[in-house]
Homo-oligomer: A and B are copies of this chain.
Amino acid sequence: MDKAQSALETANTPAVLIDLEIVRRNIERFQAYADKHGLKVRPHIKTHKLPQLAEMQLSAGAIGITCQKVSEAEAMVAGSPDIRDVLITYNILGEEKRDALAALARKVALSVVADNETVLDGLSSTFASEPAPLTVLVECNTGADRCGVSSPQEAAALARRIADAPGLVFGGLMTYPPAGGALAVQTFMTHAKSLIEAAGIAVPVITSGGTPSMMAAAEAPVSTEYRPGTYIYNDRSLVSRGVCSWDDCALTVLATVVSVPSRNRAIIDAGSKTLTSDLLGLSGYGHVLGRDDITIDQLSEEHGRLVSDGAINLKVGDRLRIVPNHACVVTNMVDAVHIVEHGAISAVWPVAARGRII
């Protein structure tokens, strides 16, 4: 056993491993695509929650980062002087959050989104007395049916309200489209943009996102910016969609077999507290690298149950690497991740923005 392999053999399990070579390759692949098509890249940090990886994304060419919650943005900004431009793609409500937002806006270029007047009125009441206005984009529903105004007309009405609100400046349009939604994005955004421009308001940014469809981002040329998240790590859900291969998966969970109670069953020390219960439409809770015959058919909090149609051929103490269904949620389960370079663990990084739900 060489030294590199040995480090993976002795790490205390369960452990989340991040292969930095694969991370670098994943970042560069999408940046090259975006550069070719004149798209700006603003990666969503929800996947890694690490200032160190945001720095890698920025130095590869990203123009800034995307966060989902105010407290996530706070952790990222505190973690790296290179993070100077942050978009929070969330409707922010409540005085405590708005005050945190104002403090952040004094440090970095900050923008947020809104899809309703209540959120806008709150933001305006806080930022009217701030030294600089807050940039607000209108969130648009292009088919994912989560947040977002449902028509270009509503987008235009909200854009005007932002332009007229004290303390706010209209920043453009934002959407989180369904997978394969490039055409829907193009149609909605083109219409909304023309309505807003007809009202004499410029639309500087049109930002879309989502890893599954990122290599088709250019099919919505009205977009100026793209916000992929999971692409930096990839995961079983993306392999199953044909977006990448196992070799492109930078995040794996290292687990130890703690019991082999029957011929076709083994139990590992990683359960839902590490792999999470996210299925994303799949069956089973992750892919055991090198063992296509195994299904992780059941998780409790600290146990993962592995079954095989034939003999499981594992013994107590064996170590396995698992590609989880969904990388982003796994990152949120651990206080630190183990960085792997050239096959060996080179560092342990605290997950700076873990658990930042506020």
- Cα A74 to Cα B94 in complex, Å, equals 38
- State whether A148 and B261 are in contact (beta carbons under 8 Å apart), knowing that A12-B358, A276-B277, A301-B328 are contacts in the complex: yes
8 Å CB interface, A311-354 against B: 315-317, 328-329, 332-335
A45–chain B nearest beta-carbon distance, Å: 12
Copies in the complex: 2
Contact A334 B317 (CB under 8 A): no
- Cα A96 to Cα B335 in complex, Å, equals 18
A201–chain B nearest beta-carbon distance, Å: 22
Residue interface mask A242-284, B partner, CB < 8 A = 1:
0000000000000010111110010101101110111100000
- State whether A258 and B301 are in contact (beta carbons under 8 Å apart), knowing that A316-B118, A316-B119, A333-B355 are contacts in the complex: no
- Cα A301 to Cα B146 in complex, Å, equals 12
A312–chain B nearest beta-carbon distance, Å: 13
Contact B301 A332 (CB under 8 A): yes
Main secondary structure, interface of A, reads loop
From B96, B267, B272, A329 is in contact (CB under 8 Å) with B272
In the complex, whether A40 has a CB less than 8 A from a CB of chain B is no
8 Å CB interface, A199-238 against B: none
In the complex, whether A91 has a CB less than 8 A from a CB of chain B is yes
Contact A147 B258 (CB under 8 A): yes
Which residues of chain B come closer than 8 Å to A14, judged between CB atoms?
357-358
Which residues of chain B come closer than 8 Å to A274, judged between CB atoms?
357
Q: A12-B358, A333-B357 are in contact. List 14 more A-B contacts (CB 8 A).
A: A12-B94, A12-B97, A46-B301, A93-B317, A115-B261, A146-B261, A147-B259, A147-B261, A147-B303, A148-B259, A270-B357, A277-B279, A301-B328, A333-B355
A/B interface sample: 7 pairs, CB < 8 A: A12-B94, A14-B357, A90-B269, A91-B316, A273-B357, A274-B357, A333-B355
